[in-house]
Amino acid sequence: MMKAVFSKAFLFGCGLGLAGCSAETTPPPDGTPVMVWATVYRLVDGRSHGDGVPLRDMNGREIGPSVARSDWCAGALAGTLRVAGEVYTFAGTSGAAQADCSHGPSERVRWSPSPHPHGTGARSNPLQPFRSIACDLGWVGGSSPWVDGGYPEFGQQLYIPAADGTVLPDGSVHDGIFTCADTGGAVTGNQIDVFLGPVPGPMSRVIEENPFEFVSHGDHREVQAYLLPMPEAVDGDDAG
């Protein structure tokens, strides 16, 4: 975990009484400090329902079973929905409203099948529970620069010290590193949306099951984070 690396740096630097040291968390090498506030989203498990809302693609063609309205709306808001073992991902909005949802824009969501077990993020990459986050990459309406007057790159990693050491449901320990692998129409500025994978039940249960203490509960509470540099591209011409 990165905390262990930072501890060693402290012992060999601040531990020797060097000026400028403090008890605060040491940032990762070359990390850009940013403040973020976090929400969570999930893969929604939908119930097939004969009188429910059909899953349609951008052309209006039915591509999956009809789903209970509450599950359809929850999936439309989250962007990923699993029904009868098949996973569907947000493809865009089109046509007339299909359902009466509390979030108006969700009513016109259209879907595409996902080849990935937990759904598809931006640029067709697979979503990874507890790793993938939706970030404002400057791609959506209402985007607001939040990193040195700009935005992170797709695939850039974010280290959150408050997440380092969190015990996940499978017993593994998180190292605090997340990847900007998705976007969301309502995720703008320094908000991040942490993907938790499949969590059944209402959103209240999702909040209860969330293992990360740094996640905001309606108060937009900000935490320290560090945007890590993108890996340098390997120049094949210099190989060998």
Q: How far apart are CA 220 and CA 208, in angstroms?
A: 18
The number of beta carbons lying within 10 Å of the beta carbon of residue 153 is 14
What average pLDDT score do residues 7-26 get? 39
State the pLDDT confidence band at 19, using cuts at 50, 70 and 90.
very low
Is there a single domain that holds both residue 159 and residue 207? yes
pLDDT at residue 28 in the model: 61
What average pLDDT score do residues 158-164 get? 97
State the pLDDT confidence band at 166, using cuts at 50, 70 and 90.
very high
State the pLDDT confidence band at 177, using cuts at 50, 70 and 90.
very high
Chain-centroid distance, C-alpha 2: 20
What average pLDDT score do residues 206-230 get? 94
Inform me whether the pLDDT recorded for 202 exceeds 60.
yes
pLDDT at residue 236 in the model: 53
> Which pTM value belongs to this model?
0.82
The pLDDT tens digits of the residues spanning 86-134 come to 999 999 999 999 999 988 889 999 999 999 999 999 999 999 999 999 9
Tokens 């969301």 -> residue: 184
pLDDT at residue 116 in the model: 98
**How many domains is the chain partitioned into structurally?**
2
Q: Which range is least confidently modeled, 31-45, 59-73, 199-213?
A: 199-213
Q: What's the mean per-residue pLDDT of the chain?
A: 87
pLDDT at residue 29 in the model: 61
Which of 102, 121, 140 terminates a domain? The answer is 121
Distance between terminal CA atoms of the chain?
33
Which of 121, 152, 167 terminates a domain? The answer is 121
pLDDT at residue 50 in the model: 87
Range of the domain at 181: 28-41+123-227
Is there a single domain that holds both residue 200 and residue 160? yes
Looking at the domain assignment, is residue 51 inside a domain?
yes
Is there a single domain that holds both residue 130 and residue 113? no
Q: How far apart are CA 21 and CA 59, in angstroms?
A: 59
pLDDT at residue 235 in the model: 60
Among candidate residues 41, 47, 129, the one with its CA nearest the CA of residue 77? 41
Looking at the domain assignment, is residue 237 inside a domain?
no
Q: How far apart are CA 94 and CA 186, in angstroms?
A: 18
Burial (Cβ within 10 Å: 0-12, 13-18, ≥19) of residue 73: buried
Is there a single domain that holds both residue 35 and residue 129? yes
- Percent of the chain residues past pLDDT 70, beyond the cut: 85
Is there a single domain that holds both residue 36 and residue 81? no
User: Contact, 136 vs 144, CB < 8 A?
Assistant: yes
The runs of H, that is alpha helices, within the chain are 2-12, 69-78, 203-209
Looking at the domain assignment, is residue 212 inside a domain?
yes
Q: How far apart are CA 213 and CA 187, in angstroms?
A: 20
Is there a single domain that holds both residue 33 and residue 100? no
Is there a single domain that holds both residue 130 and residue 193? yes
Which of 92, 121, 150 terminates a domain? The answer is 121
Looking at the domain assignment, is residue 159 inside a domain?
yes
Among candidate residues 134, 127, 135, 136, the one with its CA nearest the CA of residue 197? 127
